[in-house]
Structures are given as C-alpha cells and as structure tokens.
Chains A and B, each alone.
Chain A
C-alpha cells in the first residue's frame, strides 16, 4: 500500500512536468512566428509594432525577477519599498525597449528551436539559433517554474552573453561610485 502511494505521488510529480519541454518549444515557435509577422508588417508604424511585440513578450518574461537578479541580493535587500518599486518601473521600461530593439534587427532572419532541456530546480533552457544570411548564432532562453505554475523566462543568453549577468556587472560597477538615485536616473536615460 505504501509503495503504491509512493508510486502514485512519484508518478503525479513527473506527470506535472511530462511534455513540458515540447509545449515550451511549441509555444516559443508560435510566438516567434507572431513576432516575425509583426516585424514584417510595414503597414504599421514602429511604435505600433513595439506595442504589439510587448504584448507578446510581456507574459513570457518575469521582468521583476530579472531586475532583482540584475541588482543582486545585497543591494536589493538594502533598498526601501519605494526604491524597489521605482527601480522595477525603470528597469522594466529599459529591458522591454532593449529587447524589442533587438527584435527589429532581425526582421528577415529565421529563429530555429531545439527541444527544451529540463534542468535542475524547476529550470528549463531552450536552445535556439538565429539564422542570418551568413551565420548561425546561439540564443538560449532560460525558464523557471513560477509560484503560479507558469514557465517564465528569467534570462536570455544572446551569442553567449547573458542579459542578467551583463546588467548585474554593470549595475554593481555603477553603484560603486554612484548613489542609488543617481544610478536610477542614469538607467532611466539613454545615456550613450
């Protein structure tokens, strides 16, 4: 009886994740097709395109977690609730602009997806390749299972460069010499 119970629980646990790899890959393939059709639609303005792109991208990413990771544990815990809220507002805007800006670069390119790979601790990585006319570039989407049981992206490796790791290093560098308010003001402007 005990072993039956154990097997049932064990089976249930694995059923929860069964087929996740395929469904994540399918979902990303469909979304990339939607993104491509928006980017190719020359009848709408770039601003309108961006709005539509953000509608697709928004539910896929956990921007709040990304921002928290970029800032790092020690810094984040040292902030007041107001500072955290301001930071997330600025960071969300920055990262969405940055991501949609990059999508515009690859209007005619194809994105090919491998099957997603389940990692440890409810993480999953999805290897994809951006096929340009002369190159095949690696883009890896990293997902985690949120408390709401949704698989959300918390980082993207573009040609081996992790968005979170790069911002993390930059933020740490900036906060060495600047106050949090100065740093936030800088993040809020297209400074270069």
Chain B
C-alpha cells in the first residue's frame, strides 16, 4: 500500500515537473457550452461537409481551378479584397485604430491605381503596407460584446450570433451588395449583386479548399472542432 502511495506521489511529482506549470496557460474545457441550436448546427455542419467533399470540391472547385489557375484566382481575390476597403476602413475607425485606417486609405489608393483596379497588390509587395482584416463582428467584440451562440448556415459555414449580426451590418458598406437605401450601388439590382457575391464565395472557397481538407483531418468530431477553432481564431482577430 505504501509502495502504491509512493508511486502515486512520484507520478504527481513527475507530472508537476513536466506539465503542471503549463495547465494555467490552457483553459479547462467548458462543461456546458451555450449552444441552443447545437442539433441544427451539427446537422448543417454535416450537410456542408458532405456537399463540400462530394460535390463542391471534386466538381465545382476542380472545374474552376481548371479554367482559372492559381495566379488568376489570387488576382481575383486581391480585386475583391481591395473592394472591401470601406468595411476595413470603417471598422478600423470604429475601433479607434486610426493609423490602420490611414493605411487602408493608402492601400486602396495604391492598389486601385498601380495595382490595376486591385488585381495586384503592390501596397503589400512594394510598400509593405499590411492588409487589415477587420469587420463589424470584430468591432462588437472589441467593445466587449460576447459571441452569443454558434449559428451554422448552409453553404456559408460557421458563425456566432455576434459575427452574423456583424456581417449583416457590413453589407451596408460593402460595395458589391445591392442596398436599396444606399444612394450609390456598384450593381444595378439585387440579382447582379448576388451573382457577384456568389462568385466571390466561389473564388475564396477554391483558394481555401485544401486548407479545409487538411484541417478537418484533425477533428474527432467535426462540429465541436470547427466551433472551437472558429472561436479561437475570432478571439485572435479581435485582440489584434
């Protein structure tokens, strides 16, 4: 008995030397996660994954990759990223990141002119001006709004309530959305707008397909894995 007790103490001591001091750094897994839509979210995550793995990736993305090589898709992404200028600019201002907001202005000016309407990104490659990644969900997080609960949308993927509300708010300044009450719209009607938005999703999705296929291999259970990784990634973006 004494020997077992001795082994137990040694075991604790060894663990203490190696790992105990690290446990403060990692949060304990939450016993209860506020996820009132968990059943629905899990089903939609499964649906999205199935559609991605069996239809979108092997047929839609493969076809698109065939007609648009990586260099084209990257340029198209740069073009759409440049058009996101109003979103990053407004949200940098709202988060009082004035220097970053000014860099957004410089980037937009340089990329729209020298970068041929944004298809190239000389602001990064020539001038080293970093690209902002800001949205209204992050602005809400910056002011302490909690993430709410997870919401998974068919085809569009994982959000939380705060970020979903945030992305709806961002559409009001996103030039490719057709917004009725806005005086200036880049598109003539909502149909045109949705066509362009769908293409933006297709292009961005095709660039991230391999990442998704690789990261999903780390999941023991896909829905909580994506939920957890999503929240950690958003927390980092809010802190940045």
* Contact across chains for B29 and A98 when beta carbons are under 8 A apart: no
* Contact across chains for B81 and A77 when beta carbons are under 8 A apart: no
Smallest CB gap from A168: residue in B:
B26
- Please pick, from A102, A159, A174, the residue contacting B236 in the complex, using a CB distance under 8 A: A159
Report chain A residues within 8 Å CB of B207.
134
* Contact across chains for A165 and B232 when beta carbons are under 8 A apart: yes
What distance in Å separates the Cβ of A61 from its nearest Cβ neighbour in chain B?
Answer: 14
Q: How far is the CA of A5 from the CA of B237 in the complex (A)?
A: 48
Among B1-38, those with CB < 8 Å from A are 11-12, 15, 17-23, 26-29
* Contact across chains for B224 and A69 when beta carbons are under 8 A apart: no
How many residue pairs link A and B with beta carbons under 8 A? The number is 105
Report chain A residues within 8 Å CB of B228.
165-166, 169-170
B130 contacts the other chain (CB 8 A): yes
Binds B, one of A21-29, A42-50, A52-60, A183-191: A183-191
Report chain B residues within 8 Å CB of A76.
15, 19
> Residue among B11, B23, B216, B228 with the most chain A CB within 10 A?
B228
A16 contacts the other chain (CB 8 A): no
Smallest CB gap from B81: residue in A:
A134
Q: A65-B22, A105-B211, A165-B26 are in contact. Are A134 and B232 (CB under 8 A)?
A: no
Q: How far is the CA of A160 from the CA of B234 in the complex (A)?
A: 8
Query: What are 12 sample pairs from A and B whose C-beta atoms fall under 8 A apart?
Result: A64-B18, A65-B22, A69-B23, A101-B217, A121-B21, A154-B22, A160-B235, A161-B232, A161-B236, A162-B26, A162-B232, A169-B228
B residues neighboring A (CB under 8 Å): 11-12, 15, 17-23, 26-29, 49, 70-71, 74, 77-78, 81, 121, 124, 130-131, 207, 210-211, 214-222, 224-225, 228-229, 232-237
Of all A-B residue pairs in the complex, the 10 with the closest CB atoms, nearest first, are A160-B236, A172-B29, A133-B74, A160-B233, A68-B19, A169-B29, A161-B232, A161-B229, A134-B77, A169-B228
